[in-house]
Amino acid sequence: MARLDGKVAIITGGTSGIGEKTVEIFVAEGAKVVFCGRREALGQAIVERLGENAEFIAVDVAHEDQVAGLIGTTRERHGRIDCLFNNAGCPAPKGSITEVDRAEFDYSLSVLVGGVMLGMKYAAKVMMEQGFGSIINNGSIAAHQAGFSSSMVYSAAKAAVVHLTRCVAMELGESGVRVNSISPGAIATGIFGKVAGLPDEKAEQTAEILKQAFATAQPIRRAGLPEDIAHAAVFLASDESGFINGRDIVVDGGMIGGRHWSVQQEALRQMFGAFGDIG
């Protein structure tokens, strides 16, 4: 039996990168998946590829009425919601705090934090009534340590997501609803091209370049892939994780675990070598 047989899942930001791969793997694991994004043509192409267990709804998670409609439509069509993966994101302002544009700051927070809050707000009402459900929020290693994002605003937003996850988990757990987050490390997707200002189509082509660039960024000698996050989401959506609540699962190949062994050993070699100069 597939790990998500009979479950109904909602995935936001499902038209590319981590979201698209998660839609694909959830369907393969037996779930009925309603996914959303802003690019209708891409969404419909994914539906055609994956078949009747995938359904696309055009949604901008920065707009409360659209998020409410997504949750309401899913419940109306399927009678239940077993899982919500709040994955939708966007680039955030780069550069010094002295140069942050307020309008860009507000918009990025409305997507990165507001979209997560809205998804939980409306899914929670359904899941609490059901007495079960799993909410998964997409965080980042940038939520844990400074300097792991090109944007301090993005880092702060993801830190808010991770802590909001914990806070909501304490409330919803009492109703049988679990809330957890996943913090990806260096995952080779088009989001980095978008941050660099490339148009969507060209940005998606940068993933192959990033596989090489990220191969040595962590102790495990390969880049992180969208399926690494998708498999973690499958686990949190499944009954296998039924006693996990309020946790953030870091999926980063060990990137923020500490100083890399080879780097540490080289530093020690140089330090001990310098001792030889003592007369």
Residues noted as catalytic: 154
Taking the C-alpha atoms of residue 175 and residue 187, their distance in angstroms, rounded to an integer, is 34
Taking the C-alpha atoms of residue 31 and residue 7, their distance in angstroms, rounded to an integer, is 5
Q: Give whole-number Cα distances, 259 to 59, 159, 219, in Å.
A: 41, 22, 9
Q: String of b and e for 1-31 (b: at least 16 CB within 10 Å)?
A: eebbeebbbbbbbbbbbbbbbbbbbbbebeb
Task: Find, among 17, 11, 63, the residue nearest to 206 by Cα.
Answer: 17
Taking each helix axis from N to C end, the angle separating 64-78 and 114-130, rounded to the nearest 10 degrees, works out to 30
> Which amino acid belongs to residue 128?
M
**184, 148 in Cβ contact below 8 A?**
no
| Angle, CA of 9, 10 and 11, to the nearest 5° | 120
**194, 91 in Cβ contact below 8 A?**
yes
Burial class of residue 121 in the structure, from the number of CB atoms within 10 Å of its CB (0-12 exposed, 13-18 middle, 19+ buried): middle
